[in-house]
Structure 1
Amino acid sequence: DSFAYSGKGVASALISLPLKYMHTTVETVHKDDIENVIKLMYEFLVQLKAGHDFRYLR
């Protein structure tokens, strides 16, 4: 990905939920998993320091 190596890319992350029957009309997740992902995202954002440098290549 040229964005990643240009030094001007966009910070991104992927958080996946465990689920059953992906891409079907009956895709299923556990409510606790959804709540825990929300908590994970919240705690990450709370601890994030202003001006954090997300680049992995400096």
Structure 2
Amino acid sequence: MLQKLGPLGVLGVVLLLAGIGVTAYANPVVGAGIALIVAGMGLLVKRGVDQVMGLFGM
């Protein structure tokens, strides 16, 4: 999986997790909410990409 992301993708994931961690440290409820939003957006993006790839027959 890390090979598919590349170095910039890995850096993006690290920064995303660090940002959620800092927010959760300051306010755990808000941090949990942000984590759920990011997870939901990730699922939506994955579903959208799968749908588009299906349209192209891949």
Shorter-normalised TM range? 0.3 to 0.5
- TM-score, with structure 2 as normaliser: 0.44
Select the structure that is richer in strand.
1
- TM-score, with structure 1 as normaliser: 0.44
Select the structure that is richer in helix.
2
Greater relative contact order: 1 or 2 (C-alpha under 8 angstroms, separation 6 or more)?
A: 1
